[in-house]
Amino acid sequence: MCSHCGCRSIELIGRLSDQHDVIVNATSPLRLAAADGDGSSAADACGVLARLMAPHVGLEERGLFAELRREEEFPAAAIALDDEQWARLNADRGADPPTTPAPHRREPADRADSPTTDRPHTNTPTAPTPYGDRMPTSTVTPRPQLLSARSAAVVAATAAVVAEHAEQITARFYPRMFAENPELLRVFNQGNQATGEQSRALAASVVAYAVQLIDPAAPSFHHVMQRIAHKHVSLGIRAEQYTIVGHHLLAAVGEVLGDAVTPEVADAWNEVYWLFATQLVAEEARLYLKAGVDPAHPVRPYRVVRRIEETNDVVSLVLEPADGGELPHIAPGQYVSVFVDLPDARRQPRQYTVSSTSLGTRLQITVRKVRGAGGAPDGQVSTYLNDHVAPGDVLDVSAPAGDFVQLAGGPLLLASAGAGITTVLPIVEHIARTQPQRKVIVAHADRTAQDHALRETVLHVGRQIDDFTAYTWYETVDDTDRRSRHGLMDLSAVELPDDVQVFTCGPLPFMRHVRSSLLLRGVPASRIRYEVFGPDLWQVQEPPVSSEAS
């Protein structure tokens, strides 16, 4: 029995996958922190964790579910799986079909605030979703129902309103949280706070996550979830901090929406948040374990051993562990968080791609000085690293993180702009070492040749690949430059193999341009991957793609 909320979820978790110890350890501080209040958040955490793990449960555990329901020891957010869902889940796991009916969910019909028992047990939204009238037309693989039927109905009815006010909610949330927990200012990128990018990204993520809980046709949230988890691990986010976030985020919902937030609405969105948080906690626990990192001590000291002035505003820093330990494994395309103590005594993290993995016991990051636009100040961390850091200085650096490390076989197009070249170089290095016979096309866009960092290094490594082609586009081309093209990247004239895989990295407008032009050429969306520097606003701004294009 769970000592924090009185339910028996912990007993259930102990009978699940080989990751149960990791998940239990990771979520224990979360439940302890929640139990410091009235205990209800602890019960929510246990309940959603149990439902989250339901797809991993075999038929032998069904008796335990029935027992928990009979004894009413499960929290209100208990598992809601009908016979068809049980059959589908166990078929996916390769288990035999059930020979007896699945235990039916016990509805709280005896409660005064309970909905009627004849409500449909579906995930069909009853109100417009944030997609408006547009519904994806692709074939959808059914997903397990994680949100309880009661909450699903409420979320479906209120999703459009929450989506409409999502940015107001998150804009209210961050100041609230920082005012009561100023120590978190050392974890969150204050540059993204100032521009509002972090608020927009959080708003988009919460809405997209909620929609995919209630709409079977909504795009999968898995890829975004992976990105968030990797970013959190690089920052040292801990399980108990989700209680802080949940408290202030849900309070911000109440402040913005006012009387519209009835107890039923609050309970439903509370369940959405804890589902979101618990999935992240579990995934982050797995990543911490895999990296051998203690979340309480997520960084190591690295000494700067060399500076390479790539361009007027780009510098590469070569780093080696200063604690005598070994360099961790780094996959191509991964990044690290670098924590900098600024002259005004503030500590700030930034993520930088490991721009070269060919240095043996050392790693390299390449930093472009961020120039403020539209009256915004220059980037403080990038300016500090460019102007002040010298060989011999020590920086706190996280373990490598990043979810885009899978490079499927076949021809590869690497399309980048600006600082996106830092992700291209380690991928080219990796292919030169392991698959030199592979066809590789590198396409890069920049302001001028003088702004194009790592150009000669990429070309040098590319000579080790049997079939390597490079294209460049500059806004301003030197009169003596006969190799580069003028203007924005135009892939229409670039010959592409039918089975090409695409990776793109750079500013969001650039990546959207690349993606749309490739879709028009018939490249399937599933073969186009991207990497975002900073908050992932792709979900916010992604326009609908016609079924013909995808």
CB of 399 within 8 A of CB of 291? yes
Query: Cα(318)–Cα(308) distance, rounded to whole angstroms?
Result: 8
Q: Which value, in Å, is the radius of gyration of the alpha carbons in the chain?
A: 25
Give the sign of the dihedral formed by CA 72, CA 75, CA 76, CA 79: negative
Please, what sign has the CA dihedral across residues 386, 390, 396, 397? Answer: positive
Q: Among candidates 156, 153, 152, 149, which has minimal Cα distance to 127?
A: 156
Q: Looking at the DSSP assignment, which residues form a beta bridge with residue 339?
A: 349, 396
* Complete DSSP assignment for 462-515: HTTSSEEEEEEEESS--TT--S-EESS--GGGS---TT-EEEEES-HHHHHHHH
333 within 8 A of 430, measured Cβ to Cβ: no
Contact between 339 and 399 under an 8 Å Cβ cutoff? The reply is no
Output b/e per residue, 123-134; b: 16+ Cβ within 10 A: bebeeebbbeee
Q: Is the dihedral of CA 265, 140, 231, 414 positive or negative?
A: negative
Residue 50 · residue 78 · CB < 8 Å: yes
Under DSSP, is residue 301 helix (H, G, I), strand (E, B) or coil? Answer: strand
Which is catalytic among the residues 271, 283, 284, 429?
A: 284
Q: Give residues with Cβ within 8 angstroms of 415, minimum separation 6.
A: 443, 444, 489, 491, 502, 503, 504, 505, 506, 514
Confirm if 240 and 35 have CB atoms less than 8 A apart: no
Task: List, in order, residues 6 or more apart from 287 with CB less than 8 Å away.
Answer: 229, 230, 233, 401
Which of 131, 174, 209, 242 is labelled catalytic?
242
Buried residues in 16-36 as b, exposed as e (16+ CB within 10 A): beebbebbbebbbbbbebbbe
The Cα–Cα gap between 60 and 62 comes to: 6
402 neighbors 226 (Cβ within 8 angstroms): no
Q: At what angle do helices 20-35 and 263-291 cross, to 10 degrees?
A: 140
Active site residue 242: yes
d(CA 119, CA 437): 60
Identity of the residue numbered 249: L
DSSP-derived secondary structure letter, 415: E
Told to judge if 429 belongs to the known catalytic residues of this protein, a careful annotator would answer: no
Active-site residue set: 242, 284
